[in-house]
Amino acid sequence: MPMAALRVVILLSVYVLFDSLQLIVHMGSLISVFGTLKPDLSTYVEQYFLTLNICGTAHLFYLIGCSMALAKTILQSTNPGAYVLLVGAGCVTWGVLNRCRMRGDYAVSALAVAFLSLLVIIYTQVQSIYASTVLVSTYTFVYIISAALFTAAYRLSPFHPLANFSGPWLWYISSLKLSWVSLQGRRHLIIDELHRQYGPFVRIGPDTLSVNTLSANYIYGAQAHMEKSDSYLLPGRQPNVSLFFKQKTEKTHSDRKRVWSAAFTGSAVVHFFPALERRTWQLLSCIEERQAAGKDGYVDLAKCFCHWSYDFMGDMVFGGCNNLELMKTGDPDKLVEGGKVATIVVDRPVTRLRDIAASLMRTRIKSDADVELRDLTSYLLAGDLQTGERISHADLELEAIVAIQGGERTLTKMREISIHKL
């Protein structure tokens, strides 16, 4: 094989490595893996890899050229039996993953171990790092492409369980399109358009259906006991328990739900009214101040309402220990923006909200004896009155984020309805 083929393989590997690292940093996965990565280090690493992606168009043509060179290398190979075996391995991989779910990090680790093992075996036979690297890289490329093609063919085939449901065929192959429109904030618009085109049942992913009919209340209702999808799994596969995220057993979810329910009885919500009234008066002042400081007397009401909801939810969760003051500061940490994309990527604004909520929860726990009006944390600290089980500090910090984000989403929906009616 020519030296150019080796250069292509090595350069392609370097490109994929840099792009993967940039994606990991951008999604905040490093912070999830290592727990406490300093913000300044995270910013430096992110800016460094962002610089590598300035020439995005050049990267695209470069990747196309590498793929063509790899294809040429494969076609020039004189050992077709090995490629038949690799295609068969790709088919087996599709069959196994079609029946059994595997975590992405496990899959990448298994592929890396297989790559290195095969590299050592071939090197002991040919005694050439150059030849063994090219051959193993080519084998890996063929294997991955084979597994991907078998997976795509099955998802498009009439043998798939959702084959009878219509929808855009590209969405059958991967959930990337759905993730992309969700990240853009256009998911509801796109799916509504798809329902108008295809009817009440639309296939919007390889294993996902969107249902737009009143009879679906039987499925989505509280008494249906339907299991949540894997999209509700806690990021990072942490062993914590939270009301919002998917739990291992239904009993775990029911026990945590019972703790939360105590805070939303008719007699309990009365304790939240003083904070609600105070923050609402502050909202009116905030609108007037921003209108006076803005150009031409205009003010972004949507942003004001978002900041108001975060401030109020902070009071509702942490009581007098809350220091979320977005109506005063204007959200310099971009917590609102991070909350909007939290279901797609775990970026720095999301981890910043996590750190703030954890700090406020620790402060709130220390001052529990001095709290006069009951807030949500007081009910969470009391634990399950039926079993006497207390909630761990790690779970309390997670529940604080869930409460702030969940309350903000509900208030945002009410804001949108109110503005629409006006």
Q: How far apart are CA 166 and CA 153, in angstroms?
A: 16
CB atoms inside a 10 Å sphere around CB 192: 12
Query: Which pLDDT score, from 0 to 100, does residue 12 have?
Result: 46
Considering the domain architecture, whether residues 312 and 290 belong to the same structural domain is answered as: yes
- Are residues 144 and 8 part of one domain? yes
Q: Residues 45, 30: contact at Cβ < 8 Å?
A: yes
285 and 393 both lie in a single domain:
yes
Do 12 and 33 share a structural domain?
yes
104/187 same-domain check:
no
| Residue 93 neighbours by CB distance under 10 Å | 21
Q: Is residue 40 scored above 70 in pLDDT?
A: no
- Taken in order 248, 348, 179, 104, the sign of the CA dihedral is negative
Q: Between the CA of residue 365 and those of 261, 371, 376, 385, 400, what are the distances in Å?
A: 20, 10, 12, 18, 12
Residues 266 and 403 in one domain: yes
Judging by beta carbons within 10 Å of its beta carbon (0-12, 13-18, 19+), is residue 114 exposed, middle or buried? middle
Quote the pLDDT of residue 342: 56
Asked, for residue 349, whether it belongs to a domain, the answer is yes
> Are 338 and 386 in the same domain?
yes
Question: Is residue 330 over pLDDT 90?
Answer: no
Q: How confident is the model at residue 265 (pLDDT cuts 50, 70, 90)?
A: confident
pLDDT at position 136 is 83
Give the pLDDT score at 63.
Answer: 46
Q: Which percentage of the chain shows pLDDT scores above 70?
A: 73
More confident residue, 212 or 58: 212
> Model confidence over 81-107: pLDDT tens digits?
677 887 888 888 888 888 877 777 777
- Total number of domains constituting the chain: 3
What are residue 24's phi and psi, to 5 degrees?
Answer: -60, -45
Q: Which residue has the higher pLDDT, 290 or 185?
A: 290
Structural domain of 9: 3-156
- Residue-wise pLDDT for 396-405, tens only, equals 888 888 887 7
**pLDDT one-digit tens code per residue, 270-289:** 888 998 899 999 999 999 99
121 vs 68: which has the higher pLDDT: 121
Query: Concatenated DSSP letters for 200-244?
Result: SEEEEETTEEEE-SGGGHHHHSTTS-PPPPGGGSPGGG-----SS
**DSSP output for 83-115:** HHHHHHHHHHHHHHHHHS---HHHHHHHHHHHH
The answer to the question of residue 231 being in a domain is no
Same domain, 411 and 366: yes
